[in-house]
Structure 1
Amino acid sequence: TASMQEFFKAFPKAYEPKEVEEKWYRFWEEGGYFKASAGSKKEPYAIVIPPPNVTGVLHMGHALVTTLQDILIRWKRMCGFETVWVPGTDHAGIATQTVVERHLMKTLGKRRSDFTREEFLGHVWKWKEESETQILNQIRKVGCSCDWSRLSFTMDQPRSRAVRTMFKKMFDAGLIYRGDYLVNWDPVTQTALADDEIEYEERESALYYIRYPIVGTDQHLTVATVRPETLLGDTAVAVSPQDLRYQSLIGKQITIPVVNRQVPIIGDTSIDPEFGTGVVKITPAHDPNDYEMAQRHNLPMINIMTPDGCINENGAEFQGLPMEEARKAVVEKLKSLGLLEKVEKYTNRVGLSYRSKAVIEPYLSKQWFVKLSHFKNKLIDLVQSKKVKLIPDSFESTYFHWIYHLRDWCISRQIWWGHRIPIWYNTEDPSQMVCYAEEGIPPEVAQNPTLWEQDTDVLDTWFSSALWPFAVFGWPEKPPDLEKFYPTSCLVTGHDILFFWVARMIVMGDYAFDKPPFSDVFLHGLIFDSRWEKMSKSKGNIIDPLEIIASYGTDAMRMALSSATTHARQIDLDRRRFEEFKNFANKIWNGARFVFMNLEGLEVKDGIDMDILKLEDRWILSKLNRIIQEVNASLYEYAFDKATKAAYDFFWKEFCAYYVEMVKPVLFGKLGTAEEKSNKQKILLVVLCNAVRLLHPMAPFITEELFQLLKPFAGGFPQDPYTKETVEALQAPACIVAPYPKVIRELDIDSAIEDEFAAVDGLVHAVRNIRAEMQIPPGVTTALYIVGSEKQLQFVQKHETILKALVRLETLQLMTTEKPLTFASTAVVGDLKLIIPLPLEMRERERTRLTKERDKLIEQQNTTRIQLGNRDFLAKAPPLLIDKLKTNLDQAEKELYLIGQKLEN
């Protein structure tokens, strides 16, 4: 008794997250609870973290994806799997280089070009170290149980070797090639981008109708274009061979305005005679469709753009002008030559860089590509056969649409930060190339270094990220980790990188191992605010996870995120969710505190006496088993919102609001025997211990704190399945490795018991509704009359103690005939009628209120009568006002009559 009293003196009345979070995270990490062993005989469960970019601090999207992964890892760890969750970060080539360049300009006033490549990369590495430290600390703050001993970075030595090895493997197999190709060019970052790195938006533009003179005639063809400046690179004009207007012109020459270059008129079946004028200018170096046409007709290609988006030497007098300015200058020149027929307003889709937001320019350059067409059928088959399951499966149609329109993947980037392409060219004969996978330089290059030069480009960030699920386990070596944990079990990521990352990981994993890198892909929605706007820094609606943790606690943030994660494409994250789950954390704490305060003297070794269970006991055990079943099933289906809601509702409603209230009379000695009290104490212990473990994946800190406080009850050897399961669970050193609740006894999931309790609950709800309508304060007791048949009243009498425990009743009277009652409110539940008279003290208050209301109405009546009796007022007042006053007088008379009746009652 003395020790229990000391225990409760030290037990805070409110939950303080800051007091427990750092303590338990340090306990878990130092205790090695996050580490996985490749030598374990347990079934593996592996997740690799989507590596955050080392560009700065994390945002709420990162908090969401790490929370969801941690829920799965903690759940599977408690279910007995050998779980590994590999953390790491991504070098994020273009994004990081852009951020560092801005930083250097702001702090030193220098551009990248002011440094050597090595000097600049030194600045980027320094940035990476600082940013990564911040990011990893934030991931820890979210409570993530990552195996930090396996921390990886996409440009660390093992991952770099994996990148070089994969490049050489694909290069030697002819799956990576280099060639002149029209790429999506970002003139700001001055690098090529893949098709799916382009964002499109509708913009108001203009359609320019330009006259192209036909050589040897005084005729012309009119071409409509939105990009008149590109005529500087035209190498043909195309018409449809079926277009009767132009059939006779095919094969003749036409003059390109401004530059006066003669080019052929060609016929191509891709031209639609109905579209525009039926004549199309062909600029192969600056339009993807024109590029393909040039391949068919063997047309020359003239590049008119510099890497920074200006007109080059092929633009003659326009050289040096940015593309937008060149457009204006070319249009003015056409006007002066009389070759601009007309200009119309036009709306078109403009491609923008997803990083710099610069307008994308088609640009002819030498690039490196992966032949994705080689993998097309495999990408389709793996998802169709469910060897890779996309969850929710509504994303399959999006996935297949992308696969069916697959193009080769441009993997070279013209930046400095990244994996440099492991190719060396012979400076005397560039067609001679050496691909080298090891660190350093190839032996033939070392023998004659002046004769060789390494490619200056780096690989697309997504190339190294695509190797992540196996590179983190040591590939291309074959360590035990790779054998144990590859393929991984699940990938959790945002649906917006389904093609950037997910599909490419499937390509690389299946190519390296002939099996995909994961079996399940859960694609979560993107976070939107309460106004249904996507969160972004530019909109200023970002929610900082660390701010939320400081204000509400980590558990509250995690539960709010989990509860908001449906299978929808958007996540509505209102700040009120954080407040709601902060309150829930306090409810967990207070519910547990009540249980601890009422376990004094408990001997668990005797176990629960299943023969003396009451309805409320059987009901809570049925609900416990059912909720364990529901939460496990929901987590299995990645229904995070359902799992969180089920656990939330069970603890708050069934356990705290109902069962705890129902057992109080027995615990406090007002009802029942010593055996019944002991039974209820054990059930409280059982339910609390299971609820704590059930909630642990979602709310790890508060549950670990409570689990450790429950551990003193791990003694004894009870025989009943409930207390036995609880005692065995509490023998675990920590909640993080305690067994996750499983259905203890399926036969106790009893629909009949739950239906019987629901019938009692229906009466409770009815009484509570009446009290709310009558505005009866929670602390005021009332009388309750229930009218019904003998059989129905017997049911009420059987469960009278439950009814009295859940609603504040002064008296309960059961009647087969209704007794006339004044000043009472009623409700009907089935064939039962419930009547609650207004309590005596409230009647006096109501009498006072009604008297004041009556006096006020009488005063209003007198004022109105005086007005209506005044001849001058009646002569001047509008008829509508007089009618309104008369109506008010009649209404007041009716209200006075009703008040008089109420006062008489």
Structure 2
Amino acid sequence: MKSQEEPLPKQYNPHLTENKWYDFSLKNGFFHADPLSDKPPFCIMLPPPNVTGVLHMGHALINTLQDIMARYKRMMGFEVLWMPGVDHAGIATQTVVEKHLIATTGKKRKDFSREEFVKHIWKWKEQHEEEILNQLKKIGSSCDWMRHCFTMDETSTEAVNFVFDKMVKENLIYQGKYLVNWDVITQTALADDEVEHEERDSFLWHFSYPIDGTDDHLVIATTRPETLLGDTAVAVHPEDERYQNLKGKTVTIPIVNRQVPIIFDNFVDPSFGTGVVKITPAHDPNDYEVGLRLSLPMINIMNPDGTLNEEGLEYEGLSMSKARELIADRMDKMGCLVKKEQYSHRVGVSYRSKAVIEPYLSTQWFINMAPFKEKLIRAVKEERVKIIPKNFEATYFHWIDNLRDWCISRQLWWGHRIPIWRHKEQKEKFYSSPDGKVPKEIKDTVDEYEQETDVLDTWFSSALWPFSTLGFPHKTAELKRFYPNSSLMTGHDILFFWVARMIMMGEYVMGEVPFKEVNLQGLIFGKSYFKENSDGGITYVTKKERANIEKSNSVPKGVFSKWEKMSKSKGNVMDPLEIIDAYGADAMRMAITASATASMHIDLDKRRFEEFKNFANKMWNASRFILMNLTLDAEDLQSPLDHSLFTLDDKWMLSRCSVVCEELKVLIEGYKFDQVAKLGYTFFWDELCAYYLEFAKPILFQKQGSKKQFRQKQILLLFFLIQSITALHPLAPFITDEIFFRLKSVLPIPSNHEIIQDPHIARIVTALKQVACQKVTYPGKVTDSDIDKDAEGEFAFLIRIITQLRNIRGEMGLPPSAPSELYISGGEKNIQFIKNHQELIGALIRLEKIYFDLYPSSSEFVCEAKVDDITLVLPMPKAFREKEKQRLVKEQDKLEALIFSLKTKLSNKNFTGKAPKELVEKTKLNLKEAEQNLDHVKDKLSN
């Protein structure tokens, strides 16, 4: 046994180990993948965070789970490529940089040329990209950082241009004037998936439109009075009997005095309002479809910035919301307002800027999604892509059933500029380019053409991520080796944004789905605390109040809590870096892993971090204890274990360790990460530490057993520790690497280790030959005979006996150090079993003497319990009897006073007649419980 350079401190300090072992891994290239390796490949892509982003708990969750899988697969002998990268995030990045320039230079985007502005963004990107990557490294992400990618790097740009050109030439991309989702803040179109919906309170205005040539009028209802400026028809249902006489008639739109037809169309719901709807084709998706079918005029009333254009008459230049108020007021003054009522409805908002989405008629580029629909369905139905959990399949298919063409153009400067060159005069004449340069078809007439100014939707380049990162369109070794990817893990909120589109592009470009499995995780919710206001609203507690609640672990009266999506305004945001600083990266990783249930929302309780900080300390202290009690030298690791010396606890722990390690493999492979954390935690704490270590102490301290047993117990402890830390390494890489290093530093490896015959000692030596814990093969059963269900059953029986004895002693108020006598009677077989293993019972329960088939001479202060056919009788030691008697007398007085009070209350007719029924019933139950407890106390005193 070599001496330790430094003894392990009593407390684990994560800040002394995390950077050290992460840098060690980087220096030794542990995370780097070799495409020419003969190991089976495993490839997983990091969902690229935004280049301007900062780490949040969602990142921490997905990166931790991916890291668990990557580390596990390396330990299972795979050549693992975990590909990292960041996303250029078109809208988000351009918005952030423009705000920065306004704040620092006073200039807006349009005060710069396009080239100047884009240079500013590249500079910003270079300054901030490293920030989020370093944050990912703090978590312990074992990505292949040498292969770090960016969605606008040279390779990605090549892939984007190549695929876009291919789609244009195959008539899958087209340009058209369509109604799009318009973000008036960023002034760009958004795809349907980029629109979030919120329930908002508003008003429903009912206006009358005069029917031309009559004294009658039609009443329409709208939440958008300003859009009447663009009305080109009103519509009723063809079978609505109320309006059959209006065929061929027209109405006049007030304010604009525009005469428009009354049309009959099946899309109208005759039961909504009056059954009459206004038709504004340029500003409503349903009306747009009607306008196309019936060739109605499409009048655009809005500028790109959300103000009214020249079609807005005297309201030109006003915002849509301001014009809404003025037009509603004017309709009222004209006598056209029938009524105004409060109304709650879903409103579309931009997922980036949070601006209210305006349906807007503009010229955009689209991908025709119809040819992909069936392929997307089949990929999942045929299980070429498995969606885990399976319940998300229904969500996936629902999206495909409602699939619309994908709007891929964005009116931005930051992003992949669309590689289309259009003739300046003959607008219908254009060419695409596979390399982003001037198309060869127009090299001689390039002056007659100009490049498209729009950029591609960020999700276009992200959809190519599984193969663009591997070098596509070039035929690289990485592409050959690692495509299709093995797995993908991401949040369920980007199932459509990203996952479905990667499946689509993978099949289209590569002829193969991009990954075999998709594990979708829930969104992280934090607990928010609030107070209810007199008006029915709520006010969230202050940061100081929240800190006091979390510190005291109790919620004050008048304060309520609920789980909500994390938000700064709600005060429930948790910063991963602050959590790491307070609890350590391993504790954070294990806590969020334990919380990663297969649900839509993950309620992340801050107490979980404290729980797993304590667990890390438990791992540390158990390892410290074992290290302090190891006296093994090289010779001790050369002789095989003597199975005849195995005690019941040895057999039990060998079996449990084997079973648990095999179960952990199944759980990790099945993405059941919360169960991985739970099983690892309970095995290490509740089985290895709570029982096996305690049972080992008499032999370790040489109070029992022979020298041979002393040596063997140390080897087994060492074996179980190595199995445990290697099993837990994917979850807690830093502490396990540190413990492993400490083991390596004190344990000598035999010179002839190649010929060691004992499989358990061979596992120890083979493991300790590795340079780090992460290089050790993931543990499992060493031999089939290690799994011993008989030993597990016998040990479970023994633990039940120990548990009952602990309960009895706890009831008596005996401290663990107080010795007591034990009387045991029962069936012969179980009595013999207990006799054979009484030393194990004595290791955990302080017993003065055990008597078999006898009963105490005095029944005073005796407690007993049954375990199957065994009766356990424990007399209270004399030194504690008087104290216990005094306690019982006090308890009797207390219960008698309570019973008197409850009976008095229940005999009061005012209480039983007027109090709520639930309260009366609860009082009766409390009385019954108090009487039962009193009988129990009296029984003890009478004995």
Amino acid at match of 2:243: Y
Change in CA separation of 1:211 and 1:553 when aligned onto 2, cut-off 3 Å: same
Alpha-carbon distance in structure 1 between the residues aligned to 2:288 and 2:135 = 48
Contact 2:525–2:564 (CA under 8 A) maintained in structure 1: yes
- Segments of 5+ residues of structure 2 without an aligned counterpart are 528-561, 898-932
Amino acid at match of 1:174: N
Equivalent position SS for 1:284: coil
Range with bigger deviation, 146-155 or 118-127 = 118-127
Alpha-carbon distance in structure 2 between the residues aligned to 1:618 and 1:897 = 44
User: What do the CA deviations read for 1:487-523 (whole angstroms, capped 9, x no partner)?
Assistant: 1011000111111111111111111111111011000
Question: Would you say 1:605 and 2:638 are equivalent positions?
Answer: yes
User: What do the CA deviations read for 1:108-150 (whole angstroms, capped 9, x no partner)?
Assistant: 3332223222222222222222221111111111111110111
1:335 is displaced (CA, Å) by: 2.5
The residue aligned with 1:890 is none
The residue aligned with 1:226 is 223
Range with bigger deviation, 844-853 or 419-428 = 844-853
Alpha-carbon distance in structure 2 between the residues aligned to 1:351 and 1:313 = 26
Contact 1:526–1:571 (CA under 8 A) maintained in structure 2: yes
Alpha-carbon distance in structure 1 between the residues aligned to 2:14 and 2:708 = 37
The residue aligned with 2:390 is 393
The residue aligned with 1:158 is 155
1:698 is displaced (CA, Å) by: 0.5
- Segments of 5+ residues of structure 1 without an aligned counterpart are 861-894
Equivalent position SS for 1:529: strand
Contact 2:806–2:845 (CA under 8 A) maintained in structure 1: yes
Contact 1:94–1:415 (CA under 8 A) maintained in structure 2: yes
Question: Would you say 1:13 and 2:10 are equivalent positions?
Answer: yes
Equivalent position SS for 2:569: coil
Which residue, 656, 660, 681 being the options, matches 1:648? 681
Range with bigger deviation, 829-838 or 793-802 = 829-838
1:844 is displaced (CA, Å) by: 5.3
User: What do the CA deviations read for 1:346-380 (whole angstroms, capped 9, x no partner)?
Assistant: 22221111122211111000011111121110111
Question: Would you say 1:125 and 2:122 are equivalent positions?
Answer: yes
Which residue, 545, 558, 561 being the options, matches 2:589? 558
1:853-868 equivalence runs, <5 A: none
Contact 2:823–2:854 (CA under 8 A) maintained in structure 1: no
Equivalent position SS for 2:176: strand
The residue aligned with 1:830 is 868
Question: Would you say 1:47 and 2:48 are equivalent positions?
Answer: no
The residue aligned with 2:376 is 379
1:175-194 equivalence runs, <5 A: 175-194=172-191
Alpha-carbon distance in structure 2 between the residues aligned to 1:48 and 1:309 = 39
Range with bigger deviation, 592-601 or 178-187 = 592-601
Contact 2:824–2:852 (CA under 8 A) maintained in structure 1: yes
Alpha-carbon distance in structure 2 between the residues aligned to 1:26 and 1:37 = 20
The residue aligned with 2:23 is 26
Alpha-carbon distance in structure 1 between the residues aligned to 2:166 and 2:146 = 29
1:255-654 equivalence runs, <5 A: 255-442=252-439, 447-448=444-445, 450-530=447-527, 531-602=562-633, 603-654=636-687
The residue aligned with 2:89 is 92
Question: Would you say 1:761 and 2:761 are equivalent positions?
Answer: no
Amino acid at match of 2:200: R
Contact 2:228–2:253 (CA under 8 A) maintained in structure 1: yes
Contact 1:625–1:746 (CA under 8 A) maintained in structure 2: no
Alpha-carbon distance in structure 2 between the residues aligned to 1:708 and 1:18 = 16
Contact 2:855–2:873 (CA under 8 A) maintained in structure 1: no
Change in CA separation of 1:897 and 1:52 when aligned onto 2, cut-off 3 Å: closer
Alpha-carbon distance in structure 2 between the residues aligned to 1:789 and 1:352 = 74
Change in CA separation of 1:819 and 1:108 when aligned onto 2, cut-off 3 Å: farther
Q: With structure 2 as the length reference, what TM-score do the two structures score?
A: 0.88
Alpha-carbon distance in structure 1 between the residues aligned to 2:809 and 2:867 = 15
The residue aligned with 2:704 is 671
Change in CA separation of 1:255 and 1:138 when aligned onto 2, cut-off 3 Å: same
User: What do the CA deviations read for 1:304-334 (whole angstroms, capped 9, x no partner)?
Assistant: 0111111110111221111111112222222
The residue aligned with 1:682 is 715
The residue aligned with 1:67 is 64
Contact 1:528–1:570 (CA under 8 A) maintained in structure 2: yes
Question: Would you say 1:802 and 2:863 are equivalent positions?
Answer: no
User: What do the CA deviations read for 1:129-172 (whole angstroms, capped 9, x no partner)?
Assistant: 22211111111111111101110011111111111111111111
Change in CA separation of 1:896 and 1:340 when aligned onto 2, cut-off 3 Å: closer
Contact 2:56–2:576 (CA under 8 A) maintained in structure 1: yes
Equivalent position SS for 2:30: coil
Q: With structure 1 as the length reference, what TM-score do the two structures score?
A: 0.92
Change in CA separation of 1:664 and 1:225 when aligned onto 2, cut-off 3 Å: same
1:534 is displaced (CA, Å) by: 1.4
Range with bigger deviation, 194-203 or 149-158 = 194-203
Alpha-carbon distance in structure 2 between the residues aligned to 1:566 and 1:899 = 44
1:101 is displaced (CA, Å) by: 2.3
Change in CA separation of 1:839 and 1:447 when aligned onto 2, cut-off 3 Å: farther
The residue aligned with 2:549 is none
1:763 is displaced (CA, Å) by: 0.6
Equivalent position SS for 1:725: helix
Amino acid at match of 2:813: Q
The residue aligned with 1:787 is 825
Question: Would you say 1:167 and 2:200 are equivalent positions?
Answer: no
Amino acid at match of 1:76: K
Range with bigger deviation, 842-851 or 74-83 = 842-851
Contact 1:57–1:131 (CA under 8 A) maintained in structure 2: no
Range with bigger deviation, 476-485 or 188-197 = 188-197
Alpha-carbon distance in structure 1 between the residues aligned to 2:30 and 2:627 = 27
1:840 is displaced (CA, Å) by: 3.8
1:685 is displaced (CA, Å) by: 1.5
Alpha-carbon distance in structure 2 between the residues aligned to 1:426 and 1:845 = 101
The residue aligned with 1:887 is none
Alpha-carbon distance in structure 2 between the residues aligned to 1:851 and 1:829 = 30
Equivalent position SS for 1:246: helix
User: What do the CA deviations read for 1:718-759 (whole angstroms, capped 9, x no partner)?
Assistant: 312222222223222222121111221233322211111111
Contact 1:787–1:818 (CA under 8 A) maintained in structure 2: no
1:216 is displaced (CA, Å) by: 3.0
Which residue, 190, 204, 209 being the options, matches 1:207? 204
1:831 is displaced (CA, Å) by: 2.3
Alpha-carbon distance in structure 2 between the residues aligned to 1:293 and 1:275 = 18
The residue aligned with 1:878 is none
1:598 is displaced (CA, Å) by: 2.4
Amino acid at match of 1:697: P
Structure number with greater Rg is 1
Alpha-carbon distance in structure 1 between the residues aligned to 2:936 and 2:77 = 70
1:902 is displaced (CA, Å) by: 8.4
User: What do the CA deviations read for 1:53-100 (whole angstroms, capped 9, x no partner)?
Assistant: 122320111111100000000000010011000111011111122222
Contact 1:607–1:682 (CA under 8 A) maintained in structure 2: no
1:817 is displaced (CA, Å) by: 4.3
Contact 1:79–1:739 (CA under 8 A) maintained in structure 2: yes
Equivalent position SS for 1:245: helix
Question: Would you say 1:657 and 2:690 are equivalent positions?
Answer: yes
Amino acid at match of 2:871: K
Alpha-carbon distance in structure 1 between the residues aligned to 2:888 and 2:600 = 55
Amino acid at match of 1:340: L
Alpha-carbon distance in structure 1 between the residues aligned to 2:628 and 2:442 = 77
Equivalent position SS for 1:689: helix
> What RMSD over aligned residues (CA atoms) do the two structures have, in Å?
2.5
The residue aligned with 1:238 is 235
1:704 is displaced (CA, Å) by: 1.2
The residue aligned with 1:702 is 735
Change in CA separation of 1:817 and 1:332 when aligned onto 2, cut-off 3 Å: closer
Alpha-carbon distance in structure 2 between the residues aligned to 1:374 and 1:121 = 35
Equivalent position SS for 2:427: coil
Equivalent position SS for 1:533: strand
Work out the number of aligned pairs and report it: 868
1:857 is displaced (CA, Å) by: 13
Change in CA separation of 1:803 and 1:174 when aligned onto 2, cut-off 3 Å: same
Range with bigger deviation, 605-614 or 553-562 = 605-614
1:818 is displaced (CA, Å) by: 5.4
Alpha-carbon distance in structure 1 between the residues aligned to 2:178 and 2:626 = 71
Alpha-carbon distance in structure 2 between the residues aligned to 1:307 and 1:742 = 63
Change in CA separation of 1:116 and 1:799 when aligned onto 2, cut-off 3 Å: same
